[in-house]
Structure 1
Amino acid sequence: MEGKFKKYTKNPRKVNERILIKILKKNSNTVIGDIYDFRNINTVEDFKEKFPITDYSYYENYIERMARGEKNILTSDEVEYFSHTSGTTGKQKLIPTTTTSRRIPSKYMAFLINRYAFNEFKKQWNYEKGLMLADITNTNYTEGGIPICSATSGGINAIEPILPYLYTSPIEVMKVKDKEVASYLHLLFALKERSLLFINGVFISNVVDLFRVLEKYSLQLVRDIKRGVISRSLNLNEDVRKKLNKYLSPDAYRADDLTLEFKKGFKGIAKRVWPNLTYIGTVTGANFSIYDEMLNYYTDNLPVYSPIYAASEGTIGINPYVKKVEYVIIPDTVFYEFIEQKDFNCQNPRTLCIDELSQGGVYEIILTNYSGLYRYRLGDVVKVVDYFNSTPSIEFLYRKNQALNMVSEKTTEEHLTNAILKMVDNLKIKLIDYTTYPDNSISPGRYIIYLEISDEYKENSILEAEFDKELSLANLAYGRARQSKKLRRPKIILLKRNTFNKIKELLINGEVSKNQIKIPRVVVGKEKIITVLKENIIK
C-alpha cells in the first residue's frame, strides 16, 4: 500500500483525472448521468464546462428519492448507508455512502496509518491492543430501509469481526448511546489492559472528555475492577450489563495499583496507569488546538498523531509525518478541484486541479466522489504547506461557513481560536470550551463570546479587553473595524460548569454520533443550542 501511495503521489494529476473519468463512466446510466451526458465527457475540461459547481442544496431532492429506495439516481451503486454530518454549519446533511466509496479510502485507514505510526514508534511498539472511542450505533433508517449513521460508525461496522483483536472495548460498549456511560465503559476495559498501546478518538475533544470521565469516576472504576462487575449505579440496559459482566473478572491487584496512582492526582495520569502507552491518535490542529493543553495535562505531552483528514463526503488527506499536523492529498479517493482565496465569493469561480496549486496558497476544496456528489463545494479551506513527491501537502484552516462577518471583516474559526488561546494564556485561565454569536440587536453590532472556564472569574471587562486586543492582532480586518467603530467591543458571557456537556448531549439526542461531535464556533440558526447557553449564564 505504501508503495502504491508513493507511486500515485508522483503523478497526482494523471491518477486524479483517471478517477474522474472512472466515476463518470460508472454512473453514466443514472438520472444525473443522463442529464449531464456523462457518456460523452472525456476530459476534465468537458466536465467543468458541462457540470455546474454545486452545494448540498442541489442534491436534496435527489437524496430524498434515494432515501425512499429509488435506484440509479446519483450513483449506479447501491447505497450502503447514509452518513449524517455533525451539523456544525447548518442542518444535518445525509451523505450517501456506497461500498466503493467506503472501501477505497479504507485501505489507507487500515494499513497506511498503522504503518506510519509503527515507523515512528517502533522502538516502543508492543503489539498490544488500543482503546478506540468509536460507536456503531445506527440512529435510524430511511423510508426505503437504508441505515443512517455517522461515517465513523459505518467504518467500524465494516471491520466488526476483527475488533476484539485490535481494541480493548467489547462490541457492546460501542453500541451504548449515552456518551458518559460509553466513556466509562471504554475506560473500565482499557484500565484492565496494563499494556495499552494507544488511544484513538475521532476528535481530540472526545479524548479530553474521556480523561474528564476518568477523573470524575476514578473511585467507581476502581471498585468495578476490584469486584469484576459493573456498578449498579451506571445507567445501563440490563441485557447489556449481563453481556459485559461476562468479560470481567475480579482484579484486586490492578485496582490497588490504580488507587495509588489516582491518589497522586490526574496530571500525567495516562502514562502512570498505562506505562506502555505510546501515542494518542486523533484529529487535532486548526480550531481543535484549544484542546491541546487540556489533553497534555492528562498525558504529560504524549505524542498526538492526527492521521487522516476526512469528511462524510470523502477522505482527502493522510498524514505521514506523525509529529506534525499536515496531510498529503490522496490522489485516488475523490476527484479534486480548488477555488483560490480571491475567488471564494465569486458566483462561478475558476477552479484549479491538483497539480496547479501553489505553496502557501489558500484554497476551498471542491470534490467529485464515488457516491453521487459532483463538483461539490465542501466548504473546507486549506493551505498548501509543502509537497510529498509531486502532491500538495495541506493544512486544514477552517470551515468557510463557520465565520463571523458583520461588516466584511471575515473572522474565521482560525482567528477566533488564536485569539481565545492567547487570551486564556495571557490571563492564566483554564478554558473548557467556547462558542460565538453575532449580536445585531444594538448598533454598531458586536460579537458575543460564550465562555466556559474552570476557574471563578469576576472581571468580564478584563476578559473582553484582552480578547478584543488579541482578535485585532489575529484578524487585521476586525482590528480596522474596531478602530473605525464599525463594531463595538465584544461581550464575553461566562457559563456554568458542564454547559458544553449539555450541548454535546443535545447534539447526540439530535442524532449526531457521540464520537463525531464538534462544538460549533458560531451558533447562528441553532436555536436549541442558544437556549442551552442562555439557561446556563452565570449571573
Structure 2
Amino acid sequence: MSKFLYIVVIKAGGIVKNKFDKYTKNPRKVNEEILLKIINLNVSTEIGKKYNFKNIKSIEDFKKNFPLTDYSFYEDYIKRMGEGEKNILISKNIKYFGHTSGTTGKQKLIPVTKESRKIASKYMAFYSNRVCYESFKENWTYGRGVLISDIVNTNYTKSGIPICSATSGGMNGIKYIIPFLFTSPLEVMKITDKEAALYLHLLFALEESSLMYISGVFISNILDFFRVLEEKYQLLVRDIRKGRVNNKINIDEKTRTALNKLLSPNVSRAEKLEEEFNKGFKGIAKRIWPRLLYIETVTGANFSIYDDKVNYYTASLPIYSPSYASTEAMIGINPYINKIRYVIILDTAFYEFIPIEKGEVNANKTLNIDELEIGKKYEIVITNNAGLYRYRIGDVIKVVGYYNNCPEVEFMYRKNQVLNMVSEKTNEEHLTDAIRGTMKKLNINLIDYTTEPDNSITPGRYIFYFEFKDKISKNQIKVPRVIINNKNIRKVITSNCQNNDM
C-alpha cells in the first residue's frame, strides 16, 4: 500500500510540476487570472458589495478600489464569521481558522476554506515529493518516513469552527493515509504534550530500520528530535526491547493501550540500536537508519543557525527546504534540493510587492509579479482564496533569480520582528549573522537564544540569553561582560543598542 501511494503521489507530482512550469512562463497573466477568479467568486459577499467587486476587471481596478490592509482591518469580520455568519469575506464555507504563531504581536485567526487548503496541499503533498524522488531516485526505497507534526485542535469558535495551526489543519486532511506514509500512528499525532509526542515519534521511527526520510515543520523541530534521542536513548531502547510504552511518558491510558497494541518486543533491534548509541551520537542517523536519504524541513534565514547542529547528528545528509508558506498563503515552492530559494506559486494567491528602499518601506505604489528586480528586497502583499485582500503579511523577501519568468526569492525577515529601541531597526537577518559569527569565532555549541531590550541604563542596550549544549568555563568566553549562572545559561550584554555587532 505504501509503495502504491508513493507511485500515485510521484505521478501526481509530475502533473503538478508540468502545470507549474507552464504557469511560470507567463506569471503576470496567470496571477491576474487568479485575482479575477477570487474577485468574481466573492462579488455577492459583504466585502464584495462594499468595494464594488462587480466592476473590477483588472489589477489596476482592484488597486484603485481596495486599500492595503493589515489584520486590524479584518478582526470584526473574522469575529462574526467565527460566530457563524456567512458570506462576509468569502462566499465559501470556512473549514477551520488557522492561528498564527504570534511572533510579531498577538495571535491572529486566519480563515481557511476547503478550496484554499486543497490548492496549497497539491504543492506540499505532490510537488515537493516529486522533487525528492527525482533527486534521490537511484536510492529511492518507497519506505516510510517520520513526520514530526500533529493534528491537534487548539479550540473552537462559538459556532463550532475548529481553530488550529495551519500544519495541524493540513494534517487532518490526510489523516487516513498517515499509517502508510509515516511511522508515527495517528494517536501520536493527537497528543498535546509536545515532549511526550516527540518521544513517541522517536519510538516508532526507531522501530523502522528502513526509514527513508525525516520531516518536520522547521529545522529546530528536527534538532529537538535528535536531542531527545540523545537524552532518552536508554529509555527508548528499553521500550523497544519490551514492546511497550513506559509509564514515565505523559499520555492517557486509552492512548497508551492503543499504542501498545502496535508494539511488540524487538530484542534484536534494541541490541543493534544500543550498540550504535554506545559509539556516540555524531553521525548517528545513518548508523541506525542506513537507508535514510534526506531531511525535509524549512530552514534558511534565522533558522540556519540550527543547520550545523543537525548536520552533527546526520553526517550532513541533504536538507531539503520545500516551501515558503505562512498561515495566510502558500507563497513559494523550492525546486532545488541543494539550494534554499523559492519560486513564487502563482495560483495560490495574487501578489503585490512593496519595495524596501534603504531599509524603509515605500507603500505609495505596489509592484506586480513581472516588475521585480534581482537583488532588491520587497514586502509581500497577498490576496488569497480565503478572504484576505491586499493583505500585508509582514514578510520581506529578496529576489535572487528567475525560474522561467517567475521570481525566485529568499525569505529575509519579518518586517515587524525587529529590535528597535532607538530606530536602528535591527532585524532577524542582523541577529542571525551576528550570532552565527560569534558562535563560530568562539567555537561554542549553541542550543538556542532569545533577547530583550533593557532601558534601565543610558544608552539603552539589548540583553541576549544563550543556552549552550556543553559546559564551558569562563576563560573560554572572549566576549566582554559575560555573566554565567549555575544553569549553564549565558547572559551576554552588548555595549549599547546603537551597535548591531555583538
Q: Normalising by the residue count of structure 1, what TM-score does the alignment of the two structures yield?
A: 0.86
- Structure 1 residues 495 and 154, CA, compared in 2 at 3 Å: closer, same or farther? farther
When residues 197 and 35 of structure 1 are mapped into structure 2, their CA distance, relative to the original with a 3 A threshold, is same
Quote the residue 1:160 is aligned against: 175
- Contact 2:188–2:201 at 8 Å: present in 1 too? yes
Q: Which amino acid aligns with 2:93?
A: E
> Which of 454, 458, 479 is the matching residue for 1:443?
458
Distance 1:456 1:262, change over 3 A: closer
- Partner of residue 151 from structure 1, selected from 163, 166, 169: 166
Q: Distance in 2 between matches of 1:494 and 1:330?
A: 47
The yes-or-no answer on 1:142 pairing with 2:157 is yes
5+ residue gaps, structure 1: 466-490, 501-539
1:101 aligns with 2:137: no
Q: Give the Cα–Cα distance (whole angstroms) in 1 for the partners of residues 80 and 399 of structure 2.
A: 38
Aligned residue in 1 for 2:427: 412
In structure 2, the residue matched to 1:19 is 34
Residue in 2 that maps onto 1:53: 68
SS at match of 2:435: helix
Aligned-partner SS, 1:397: strand
Q: Secondary structure at the match of 1:332?
A: coil
> Which residue number corresponds to residue 113 of structure 1?
128
Distance verdict in 2 for CA 1:316–1:276, change over 3 Å: same
Question: Which of these residues, 10, 30, 36, is aligned with residue 51 of structure 2?
Answer: 36
Task: Give the Cα separation in 2 of the matches to 1:106 and 1:273.
Answer: 31
Residue 408 of structure 1: how far off its partner (Å): 2.8
Among 364, 384, 399, the residue aligned to 1:384? 399
- Cα 1:349–1:498 change in 2 (3 A) is farther
**1:231 equivalent among 236, 241, 246:** 246
2:357 equivalent to 1:342: yes
Q: 1:496 to 1:44 in 2, by over 3 A?
A: farther
Q: CA deviation at 1:343?
A: 8.4
Partner Cα separation in structure 1 for residue 386 and residue 346 of structure 2? 17
The CA distance in 2 between the partners of 1:349 and 1:448, in whole Å, is 36
CA contact (8 A) 1:340 1:362 kept: yes
Aligned counterparts, 1:136-285, within 5 A: 136-285=151-300
Residue pair 2:468, 2:489 contacting (<8 A) in 1 also? no
Tell me the distance in 1 between the aligned counterparts of 2:488 and 2:310. 17
Question: Which residue is equivalent to 2:410?
Answer: 395
Aligned residue type for 2:428: E
- How many Å separate the matches in 2 of 1:195 and 1:390? 40
Query: TM-score scaled to structure 2, two decimals?
Result: 0.92
C-alpha spacing 1:248/1:100, structure 2 compared with 1 (3 Å): same
Specify every segment of 5 or more residues in structure 2 that has no aligned partner in the other structure, as ranges: 1-15, 491-502
Do the aligned residues in 1 keep the contact of 2:383 with 2:389 (CA within 8 Å)?
A: yes
Match of 1:297 among 312, 319, 324: 312
Q: CA deviation at 1:464?
A: 4.2
| Partners of 2:117 and 2:171 in 1: CA distance | 11
Question: Is residue 51 of structure 2 the alignment partner of residue 71 of structure 1?
Answer: no
Q: Select which of 361, 383, 395 maps to 2:376.
A: 361
Give 3-state SS (helix, strand or coil) of 1:386's partner: strand
Deviation at 1:349, TM superposition (A): 2.6
Q: CA deviation at 1:455?
A: 3.4
Aligned length: 475
Aligned residue type for 1:259: E
Deviation at 1:445, TM superposition (A): 1.1
The verdict on how the C-alpha distance between 1:346 and 1:275 changes in structure 2, with shifts beyond 3 A counting, is closer
* Whole-angstrom distance in 2 between the partners of 1:69 and 1:499: 48
Q: Whole-Å Cα distance in 2 between the matches of residues 374 and 203 of structure 1?
A: 28
Deviation at 1:347, TM superposition (A): 7.5
Q: Is the 8 A contact 1:304 1:322 kept in 2?
A: yes
Identity rate, percent? 60
2:11 alignment counterpart: none
Quick check: 2:32–2:350 contact (8 Å CA) kept in 1? yes
Q: Is the 8 A contact 1:451 1:494 kept in 2?
A: no
- Runs (4 or more) in structure 1 with deviation over 6 Å come to none
Aligned residue type for 2:95: E
SS of 2:177's equivalent? helix
Go from structure 1 to structure 2 and tell me whether the alpha carbon gap of 1:461 and 1:243 turns closer, same or farther (over 3 Å shift).
closer
Structure 1 segment 501-516 matched on structure 2, within 5 A: none
Offset from partner CA, 1:312-371 (integer Å, 9 cap, x none) = 000000000111111000111100000000287558431000010001111110000011
Aligned-pair CA distance for 1:132: 0.4
Letter in structure 1 aligned against 2:410:
E
Secondary structure, counterpart of 1:341 in structure 2: strand
Q: In 2, Cα distance between the equivalents of 1:495 and 1:295?
A: 27
Partner of 1:435, secondary structure, is strand
Task: Give the structure 1 partner of residue 342 of structure 2.
Answer: 327
User: Hey, what does 1:126 align to over in structure 2?
Assistant: 141
Q: Is the 8 A contact 2:207 2:240 kept in 1?
A: yes
**Cα distance change of structure 1 residues 49 and 461 upon mapping to structure 2, 3 Å threshold:** farther
Tell me, in whole angstroms, the C-alpha distance in 2 between the residues paired with 1:31 and 1:278.
50
CA contact (8 A) 2:471 2:488 kept: no
- Equivalent-residue separation in structure 2 for 1:203 and 1:105 (angstroms): 18
| Aligned residue in 2 for 1:310 | 325
- CA displacement, residues 66-115 of structure 1 (integer Å, 9 cap, x when unaligned): 11111111111100000101111111100010011101111111111001
Cα RMSD, aligned residues only: 1.8
